[in-house]
């Protein structure tokens, strides 16, 4: 079953036990009386200290024990005299699995910029910051599955290759089996992309929602959790070309139920991280506090753990889009002309507007509902007045939109009307329309961008730093 991990050794192994520790060297320090090697295997933010006596090993061997090298250390677990750890390993044997030339190994013990680490995405999980983020990311993913499983949802695997453009935003990556040297042409001579995928049109999915709805119309409560692709050539701190989306879809849920679920869900998964990722969150909090020291006192944000606890402990503010526009119109930045994008009923809110509402006005997460139909997708249920739809966006501090959702249009006639209105050929969505034709039901759902959640929980400013291998224009080539 493999060796004990450092996390288990530190937490549970009894003193005097013989142990084998395998991991990467973080630091080596030599003093007159001892040689200290800090080892980490990624199972925890905490290193284990291994101690050898001077002269115990040849100078030649010790020269190969450098930051980044990989070791197998055999020894005995003893009480530690030093501050910072209760136990350490008294080394009896060292085997060097792999050296890391200090002249070449980029992760020497000093603080590296996040930009630099993005360039070496293959090595950055070996840093404290990234290993902490990846462990928290894992914990959140686990909590997502646990939450839905406990609530009677089924995990539905929706396709990655699909013909449907759920968002109609035209941000799709095309999938092609075409021979690029021999492209099919239309009568006018243009490339016929309709024949991309073995003679049909195909794209990478921008959302699993439409297929998710098919699942909900049979299993009642499903969720998807998979990779999602958007060809947005944007360089924001909140957009990736490849991200993971969590999309629950529920039959017999109205907009209110949908909001209740979204709020409860986010709170429960954050709580899971607060309970299970204490060491990593503390590490990230200290890192952020260090960064904030350069800011004036009144501009510093709450310590990470307090910020998370606040979100978990307080009800989200709920209001309509129309009410939000009124607040924005009365706001100081609007009156002083400080918003980059003008405010008025009918606009699609920008993140500066969303963040004003969350960070300055309400000072807590906000759920906005009933957006104008023109700025939302065709599948959202129309309100009685026909002007707005039963949409909901959940907005978070530091991020803006974290969730987009809605009650879905269940009327076949109305949905068909909306499909035609926005210029989609109903033939392409016949399978989707049939869920309304045969045994339609009120239903709702939402999409949570997983990386935005990880960003919030870890306090990271840039979404590129919360996914192992970020995909964005000019991202690393692997």
Q: Could you say which residues in the range 404-433 bind Mg ion, by CB under 5 A?
A: 404
CB of 401: closest distance to Mg ion in angstroms? Answer: 5
Q: Min. distance of Cβ 159 from ligand ATP in angstroms?
A: 18
Tokens for 477, please give them. 């080539």
Binder of residue 211, out of Mg ion, ligand ATP, none (CB less than 5 to 8 A by kind) = none
Q: Taking the complex as a whole, how short is the minimal distance between the CB of residue 460 and Mg ion, in angstroms?
A: 20
List the single partner that 167 binds among Mg ion, ligand ATP, none, CB under 5 to 8 Å by kind.
Answer: ligand ATP
Judged by beta carbon, residue 6 or residue 466, the one nearer ligand ATP is 466
CA distance 404 to 348: 13
Q: How far is the CB of 126 from Mg ion (least distance, A)?
A: 33
Q: Give min distance, CB of 338 to ligand ATP, in A.
A: 21
Closest distance of CB 394 from ligand ATP, Å:
8
436 touches which of Mg ion, ligand ATP, none (CB within 5 to 8 A by kind)? none
Query: How far is the C-alpha of 129 from the C-alpha of 462, rounded, in Å?
Result: 13
Backbone angles phi, psi at 39, to 5 degrees: -115, 145
Q: Which is nearer to ligand ATP, 232 or 352 (CB)?
A: 232
The DSSP bridge partners found for residue 167 are: none
Query: Which three-class secondary structure state does DSSP give residue 25?
Result: strand
Of 62 and 403, which has the nearer Cβ to ligand ATP? Answer: 403
Q: Which residues pair with 162 in a beta bridge?
A: 203
Closest to 164 (Cα-Cα) out of 396, 431, 355, 448: 431
Site size with Mg ion, rule: CB under 5 A: 2
449 binds, among ligand ATP, Mg ion, none (CB under 5 to 8 A by kind): ligand ATP
Closer residue to ligand ATP, CB minimum distance, 75 or 404? 404
On whether the CB atoms of residues 371 and 321 are closer than 8 A, the answer is yes
Q: How many helices (H) and strands (E) does the chain have?
A: 14, 15
Closest distance of CB 209 from Mg ion, Å: 11
User: 52 vs 402, which CB is nearer to ligand ATP?
Assistant: 402
Alpha-helix runs per DSSP H in 277-371 = 278-292, 304-313, 321-329, 332-335, 351-355
CA distances from 392 to 163, 246, 265, 314, 442 (A): 26, 16, 15, 19, 16
* Residue number, 132 or 402, with CB nearest to ligand ATP: 402
C-beta of 197 vs 378, nearer to ligand ATP: 378
Burial of 84 (0-12, 13-18, 19+ CB in 10 A): exposed
In 3D, which of 420, 463, 453, 410 has the Cα closest to residue 271? 453
Nearer to Mg ion, 216 or 240 (CB): 240
What does the alpha-carbon distance between residue 224 and residue 152 come to, in Å, rounded to a whole number? 14
Q: What does 355 interact with, of Mg ion, ligand ATP, none (CB < 5 to 8 A by kind)? A: none
Return residues touching ligand ATP (CB under 6 A).
167, 230, 232, 238-240, 243, 245, 401-404, 447-449, 451-452
With CB under 5 to 8 Å by kind, the binding choice for 243 among Mg ion, ligand ATP, none is ligand ATP
CB of 396 to ligand ATP, least distance (A): 9
CB of residue 206 to ligand ATP, shortest distance in Å: 7
- How many other β-carbons are positioned within 10 Å of the β-carbon of residue 351? 15
- Contact string 380-409 vs Mg ion (x = CB under 5 A): ---------------------x--x-----
242 touches, from Mg ion, ligand ATP, none (C-beta below 5 to 8 Å by class): none
Pairing of strands 87-98, 366-372: unpaired
Tally of CB atoms within 10 A around 431 = 11
CA atoms within a 13 Å half-sphere pointing along the CA-CB vector of 346: 2
Closer residue to ligand ATP in complex, CB, 174/295: 174
Report what 240 binds from Mg ion, ligand ATP, none; CB cut-off 5-8 Å by kind: ligand ATP
447 binds, among ligand ATP, Mg ion, none (CB under 5 to 8 A by kind): ligand ATP
Binding partner of 389, given Mg ion, ligand ATP, none, CB within 5-8 angstroms per partner class: none
Residue 451 binds what, of Mg ion, ligand ATP, none (CB under 5 to 8 Å, by partner type)? ligand ATP
Residues 6+ apart with CB under 8 A from 100: 25, 66, 67, 68, 69, 70
- To Mg ion, the closest distance from the beta carbon of 151 in angstroms equals 23
Contacts of 202 (CB under 8 A, 6+ apart): 161, 162, 163, 174, 175, 176, 196
Distance CA 325, CA 6 (A): 53
Closest Cα partner for 447 from 398, 399, 391? 391
Tell me the closest approach of the beta carbon of residue 120 to Mg ion, in angstroms. 29
Q: Which of 12, 28, 128 is nearest to 71 (CA)?
A: 28
Q: How far is the CB of 354 from Mg ion (least distance, A)?
A: 8
**Which does residue 246 touch among ligand ATP, Mg ion, none (CB within 5 to 8 A, set by kind)?**
none
Q: Which is nearer to ligand ATP, 398 or 447 (CB)?
A: 447
Question: Which residue has tokens 């033939």?
Answer: 427
The residue (of 68 and 398) whose beta carbon lies closer to ligand ATP is 398
Binding site for Mg ion (CB under 5 A): 401, 404
């Amino acid at each position: 079953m493999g060796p004990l991990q450092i996390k288990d050794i530190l937490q549970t192994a009894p003193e005097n036990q013989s142990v084998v520790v395998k991991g990467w060297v973080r630091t080596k320090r030599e003093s007159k009386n001892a040689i200290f090697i800090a080892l980490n295997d990624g199972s925890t933010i905490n290193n284990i200290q291994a101690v050898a006596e001077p002269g115990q090993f040849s100078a030649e061997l010790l020269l190969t024990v450098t930051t980044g090298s990989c070791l197998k250390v055999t020894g005995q677990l003893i009480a530690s005299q030093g501050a910072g750890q209760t136990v350490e390993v008294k080394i009896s044997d060292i085997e060097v699995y792999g050296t890391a030339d200090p002249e070449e190994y980029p992760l020497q013990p000093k603080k590296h910029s996040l930009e630099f680490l993005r360039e070496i995405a293959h090595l950055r999980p070996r840093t404290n910051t990234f290993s902490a983020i990846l462990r928290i990311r894992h914990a959140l993913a686990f909590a997502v599955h646990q939450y839905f499983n406990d609530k009677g949802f089924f995990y539905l695997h929706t396709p990655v290759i699909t013909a449907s453009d759920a968002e109609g935003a035209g941000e799709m990556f095309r999938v092609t089996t075409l021979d690029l040297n021999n492209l099919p042409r239309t009568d006018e001579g243009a490339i016929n992309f309709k024949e991309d995928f073995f003679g049909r049109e195909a794209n990478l999915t921008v959302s699993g929602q439409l297929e998710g709805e098919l699942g909900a119309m049979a299993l009642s409560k499903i969720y998807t959790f998979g990779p999602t692709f958007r060809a947005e050539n944007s360089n924001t701190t909140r957009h990736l070309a490849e991200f993971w989306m969590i999309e629950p879809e529920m039959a017999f849920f109205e907009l209110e139920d949908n909001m209740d679920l979204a709020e409860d869900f986010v709170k429960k998964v954050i709580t899971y991280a607060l309970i299970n990722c204490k060491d990593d969150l503390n590490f990230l909090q200290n890192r952020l506090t260090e960064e904030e020291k350069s800011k004036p006192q009144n501009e510093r944000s709450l310590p990470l753990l307090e910020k998370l606890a606040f979100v978990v402990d307080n009800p989200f503010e709920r209001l309509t889009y129309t009410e939000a526009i009124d607040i924005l119109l009365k706001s100081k930045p609007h009156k002083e002309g400080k918003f980059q994008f003008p405010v008025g009923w009918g606009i699609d809110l920008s993140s500066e507007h969303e963040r004003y509402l969350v960070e300055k006005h309400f000072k807590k997460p906000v759920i906005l509902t009933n957006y104008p139909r023109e700025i939302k997708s065709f599948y959202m249920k129309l309100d009685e007045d026909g002007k707005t739809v039963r949409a909901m966006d959940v907005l978070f501090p530091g991020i803006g939109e974290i969730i987009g959702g809605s009650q879905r249009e269940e009327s076949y006639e109305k949905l068909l009307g909306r499909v035609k209105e926005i210029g989609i050929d109903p033939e392409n969505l016949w399978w989707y329309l049939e869920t309304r034709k045969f045994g339609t039901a009120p239903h709702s759902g939402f999409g949570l961008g997983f990386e935005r959640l990880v960003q919030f929980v870890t306090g990271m400013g840039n979404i590129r730093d919360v996914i192992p291998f970020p995909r964005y224009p000019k991202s690393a080539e692997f």
